[in-house]
Amino acid sequence: MQRADVEERYQIWRQKNEKGNFSSFRRALKAFVYRPLISVCLLAKGDQTHLSECVDSILNQYYQNFELCVLAAESMGEWKDKRVFFIQNDDVGAALDAIRGEFVVFLRGDGTFSPDALFQVVSLLNAHRDAELIYSDEDVMGKDRGSPLFKPDYSPDTLLSYHYISNLAVYRTSLVREIGAFRDEYDLALRFTEKTDCIYHIPKVLYHRRKVMENSSYSVVEDAMKRRGYRADLKKIEEAGACFVRFRPKEDDFVSIIIPTKDNARVLDRCLSSIYEKTTGVSYEIIVVNNNGSEPETFALFEHYQKQYDNFCVLTQNVPYNYSALNNEAVKIAKGNLLLFLNNDVEVISPDWLFDMAGEATRCEIGAVGAKLLFPDRSIQHAGIVLLGKLEVGVHLGYRIDERKVLYDPRYVTNRNVSAVTGACLMMRRRVFEEVGGFDESLAVEFNDVDLCLKALRAGYRNLYMGQVCLYHYESMTRRAIENSKRLNDSILKMANRWGDFKDPYFDPDVELKLLHYRI
């Protein structure tokens, strides 16, 4: 889909989804039991061409229990509305001393609110009184509004990569005061989320900016890493204005790479040679699970690697093909505290791939870790899995997009929280794998990777896609099974019964799937 088509679809979507009138909001306002005062702090720095339009969008809110504090280096005179006051100071601390609101919003003067912005915030607060931070989706103003940014629910690892929260962001004032001095809005978001996880996302476009999102501040992320005591390094991703936080595995971490295979020695050899040639910085073993292999070339290849490497072994399983069972059996003999499930038809591209994946997988809060997989023409095969509903178990994000066309998009090139990753390259701590029961052997072929990831989510872990870890995936070159429609239907029904009520926290299918096909 071309960009122009996407923008046209967004205008159609807006017309259908932004309907509303003051009388309907007024009726809903009457039902609010909780009506907190919200302080809007407008930082009037730099170009003030659109400042008046910004102020008007605030004064014309359906929810009227707010105050507007304008910070400016020079006096801006008086404003007729008594809720507006000026502070001749560009220090946010001065505003925090002066405001009275239970919640506070920090804004630049180059954007506007939707009329229902504060209404939607207070509506959420009436349903979730524990909320400390609330943020919404946004788009960009130009000749017409476009370039929508539909955000995920709170995603700690995504936030460490770039400031996806941005605007509209509403903070509990007492916690902001507790934080004290902060450098900018990104610094505030990182510091604030270190103090609370009562964070809510409103999946509505409530803020309209006049320019694309600013690049993330690398020094802000560096400071956050130091505060949190992370064993990590920071890599700048200039083209996307984002950061790649490289967690370091511990010296005693050991990875068991498990590769099920059947014949086709040439494909397996390409996989194995790429691992041995490009893997550095972490200890590992390779367990090839030979499932009904029979070709002489296969056994000659096994013998070659067994003679050349003492960290290579073959587990023979002459049983009917069951991906879940093959991997579960291999885990029983694996020595690693980290398990990497890998297809035999992949080829390593990134030299630090295993080091980077192991660094993330060793974190106590992380469940499954996945990589960016590319087809040989460098179009994307996998950039995380999106869960769509009962009978549509999962879709690979970015499928068949030219990777070179999304180098500017941080969602594809850095770390991002996702609901699931593909089993073609999936790492997990052994302890987590055993805790959630491993692969479900009743899911012999399809969806066992999604099921494993969702079990990790249910157990309280976060799953992660790593956009800087890249492998080629030649996709099912060695095992082209005849389509078993009954087996597939049984697997779909099993997943629907087990996970049918699961709502993907990182993706809104009602909006993004229908509107932004080029990003999926």
Confidence of residue 402 (pLDDT cuts 50, 70, 90): very high
- pLDDT surpasses 50 at 332: yes
Average pLDDT over residues 367-396: 88
- pLDDT surpasses 80 at 516: no
Whole-angstrom distance, CA of residue 117 vs CA of residue 114: 5
- pLDDT surpasses 80 at 11: no
Looking at residue 175, what DSSP letter applies? H
Whole-angstrom distance, CA of residue 177 vs CA of residue 46: 25
- Count other Cβ atoms within 10 Å, centred on residue 133: 24
pLDDT at position 148 is 80
Q: What is the mean pLDDT of the chain?
A: 89
Confidence of residue 150 (pLDDT cuts 50, 70, 90): confident
pLDDT at position 518 is 34
With a CB cutoff of 8 Å and minimum separation 6, the contacts of 16 are none
pLDDT at position 13 is 67
Name the least confident of 97-106, 119-128, 175-184. Answer: 175-184
Q: Are 50 and 110 in contact (CB under 8 A)?
A: yes
The per-residue pLDDT for range 425-445, each reduced to its tens digit, is 999 999 999 999 999 999 999
**Burial environment of residue 30 by CB neighbours within 10 A (0 to 12, 13 to 18, 19 or more):** exposed
Which has more confidence, 125 or 501?
125
Average pLDDT over residues 400-424: 93
Whole-angstrom distance, CA of residue 122 vs CA of residue 62: 11
- pLDDT surpasses 70 at 520: no
- pLDDT surpasses 60 at 391: no
| Domains of the chain with CATH codes | 20-227 (3.90.550.10), 254-519 (3.90.550.10)
pTM equals 0.92
Which has more confidence, 484 or 302?
302
pLDDT at position 131 is 98
Name the least confident of 267-276, 308-317, 503-512. Answer: 503-512
β-partners of residue 260 are: 289
DSSP string, 113-138: E-TTHHHHHHHHHHH-TT-SEEEEEE
Whole-angstrom distance, CA of residue 72 vs CA of residue 44: 5
Confidence of residue 482 (pLDDT cuts 50, 70, 90): very low
pLDDT at position 513 is 46
- pLDDT surpasses 80 at 12: no
Give Dmax (Cα) for the chain. Answer: 88
- pLDDT surpasses 50 at 469: yes
β-partners of residue 112 are: 208
Mapped to the 3 state alphabet, what secondary structure does 48-108 carry? CCCHHHHHHHHHCCCCCCEEEEEECCCCCCCCCCCCEEEECCCCHHHHHHHCCCCEEEEEE
Residue percentage of the chain with pLDDT more than 70 = 88
Tell me the residue ranges of DSSP E strands in 182-325. Answer: 199-209, 232-237, 242-247, 254-261, 283-290, 312-316
| 221, 226, 232, 235 alpha-carbon torsion, rounded to 10° | 30
Whole-angstrom distance, CA of residue 489 vs CA of residue 494: 9
- pLDDT surpasses 60 at 36: yes
